Amino acid sequence: MNKTITIEGVTRIEGHARITIELDESGKVSDAHFHVTQFRGFEKFVQGRPLTEMPGIMARICGICPVSHLMASAKACDDLLAVDIPPTANKLRRIMNLAQIVQSHALSFFHLSSPDLLFGMDGDPASRNIFGLIRDHPEFARDGILLRKFGQDIIALLGEKKIHPAWVVPGGVNAPLTAQHRDLILAEIPAALSRAARALEYFHTVRDRYPAEVDAFANFPTLFAGLISPAGLIEHYDGALRFVDENAAPVADLTDPHQYPSMIGEAVEKHSYLKSPYFRPRGYPEGIYRVGPLARIILAERCGTPRADAELGIFRTRLGRSPQSSFHYHWARLIEILYGIEMIQRLLEYPDILNTHVRSRARPNRFEGVGISEAPRGTLIHHYRIDENARMVWANLIIATGNNNLAMNRGVLQVAQRFVDGTHLEEGMLNRVEAVIRCFDPCLSCSTHALGQMPLCIELRNSTGELCDVLQRD
């Protein structure tokens, strides 16, 4: 008798999701799906709005990583204006983007994922959360909170607000950096670097405890995609979009953002509102690829900053150039925190960083614009079309989490096949299904897992709909 387990209430990017696990007659997992059940509608309701409002509107897609949408949207608008933004504005945008990546990664690692790593996947859910962390590992928790604060404070110093700053505008940014604010940020760099280094030390003490999870957490060969600098360094703001295979060998480079549809196809599955992007030359679903910190770490030759490169060396010595398990996203995230802090310092020390020419002015000079940047969770694409009066007529967004949709679905299936026993349900199984999703740090973990608990309910029903077993966590 076939059975389906439904995990209802896994919420997504500021929304809701559901996981269904299908069991065959012998109680073995036969299939699993990650359903994103919320519809946002941004691509539709921006139609008719002036393009200059786009960064401000699009930032509202997310409250955790609004800066990422600001970047991709502003770049798409720069493209519509057909301008090169002033070099100082470029650096300032990069600083804000890196600050965003540091704070988001800190949230993902310390607040959301580290309770699993420090207390164990089967640990007591009553203490496997940020409060348990504060009680049992206060220094570690403090480092996480202060690293997040470091990133948030930079965003606020640059853009006046921690969330949804209006500072990034088409053509650049709307205010230069002051010497006072630069010095405030620079003064925080040494402490932030120490915290990131301590977090890595801590991580090294726990990372080997989870061989089964490393083995089964979305551990399969796929392509990886992300931005890369012309020198082959890790890149979050500009550069070519590179696809590499499971051995980190380049498969394709996208240098003209307008050509992204030739590389990325967007499939739609009936079971989810989240699109399933795939690498078009390989077809669907064989063109499965992953984005985010692990992808960026794999496809870059090196980071380009000393501490991050040293840690990347340890990572590669230990795991090889191209580890396929999504469990390693956590480590990659920590390396990127280190890189982000070092790079912010480097950018702030450029002599022209206080230059007051930070905005290029122009009328729209194209009817179509594409902006690609790296969000904490991966590659983010904004694609706009406007009419002759600079009003939006069409938009297409490929959100970082969406790029990982196919991999998350396969990851859920893999972890379910490994850990779910159809004859009875256990807490640890429930948590591992969450934890594999959490590796990818989709926004759902941000919005719903802040206390270490997604309000999950797994129901096991037989083919007639009869409830066989239920596991509830509020």
Binding-site ranges for another protein (CB under 8 A): 48-50, 52-53, 55-57, 60, 164, 166, 169-170, 174, 361, 363, 389-391
Task: Name the residue type at position 467.
Answer: L
The nearest distance, CB 176 to another protein, in angstroms, is: 15
Query: How far is C-alpha 295 from the chain's CA centre?
Result: 11
The beta-carbon contacts of 306-309 under 8 Å, at least 24 apart in sequence, are: 306/342, 307/193, 307/197, 307/338, 307/342, 308/234, 308/335, 308/336, 308/338, 308/339, 308/342
Beta bridge partners, 441, equal none
Q: How many CB atoms lie within 10 A of CB 447?
A: 18
CB of 95 to another protein, least distance (A): 19
Nearer to another protein by C-beta: 164 or 321? 164
Helix axes 87-106, 329-348, angle to 10 degrees: 150
Cβ closest to another protein, residue 170 vs residue 340: 170
Closest CB to another protein among residues 53, 469: 53
Among residues 125, 76, 105, the alpha carbon closest in space to that of 371 is found at 76
Q: Closer to another protein by CB, 14 or 246: give it.
A: 14
Q: Which is nearer to another protein, 180 or 389 (CB)?
A: 389
Q: How far is the CB of 80 from another protein (least distance, A)?
A: 12
Least spacing, CB of residue 36 vs another protein, in Å:
24
Measured distance CA(141)–CA(441) in Å, rounded: 19
Q: Which is nearer to another protein, 166 or 233 (CB)?
A: 166
Q: Copy the structure tokens of residue 100.
A: 């965003």
344 by DSSP, 3-state: which? Answer: helix
Count the Cβ atoms, other than its own, within 10 Å of residue 132.
Answer: 19
Least spacing, CB of residue 168 vs another protein, in Å: 9
Nearer to another protein, 57 or 197 (CB): 57
Distance CA 226, CA 263 (A): 13
3-state DSSP assignment of residue 180: helix
Tokens for 114?
A: 């580290």
> Cβ of residue 386: shortest distance to another protein, in angstroms?
10
CB of 372 to another protein, least distance (A): 21
